[in-house]
Amino acid sequence: MADRSATCVWEGNLARGAGTTSVASGAFGPVPVTWAARTEQSNGKTSPEELIAAAHASCYCMALSHELTTGGHPPKSLEASAMVTIDRVDGQMTVTTSKLTVKGVVDGIDQAGFQAAAAAASKGCPVSRALGGVKVSLESATLGK
């Protein structure tokens, strides 16, 4: 259906080197990336994990919006955040978890209905599916009417 691309240019070694990442659409970038932004403080730079978190949160909002709308409850607003964790697994740096948190303002739906739609959206979100072996957790809440 669609191909999307991004580029990173890196100079130097891992610990002291730096790079820039750009997306082909021109929507943002180039943005600086460093090892320190992955493992210490970001100091205005980004990391692959932060970019995965941005992709996961935005994809999830789209999936939940679709789920709610097809269920007869189009949302007024949704706000999702994703916290992506990187850790060592078998001696290799690995994305291990993505914790989604979502709040929504949706007329005519109760908490149980919202949570059911949220869970279905998590399973159908293309980025959730792409993360395959990563543990994806979800916390959801409606914010009233």
Residue 135 in this model has a pLDDT that exceeds 90: no
What is the rounded distance in angstroms from the CA atom of residue 66 to the CA atom of residue 97?
Answer: 24
Closest CA to 54 of 19, 93, 34, 81: 81
pLDDT digits (tens, 9 = 90+) for 32-75: 999 988 888 888 899 999 999 999 999 999 999 999 999 999 99
Q: Phi first, then psi: what are they for 102, rounded to 5°?
A: -135, 140
- Residue ranges of domains in the chain, CATH in brackets: 6-39 (no CATH), 48-142 (3.30.300.20)
Which secondary-structure segment (H or E) carries 7?
Answer: strand 6-11
Q: Model's pTM, two decimal places? A: 0.90
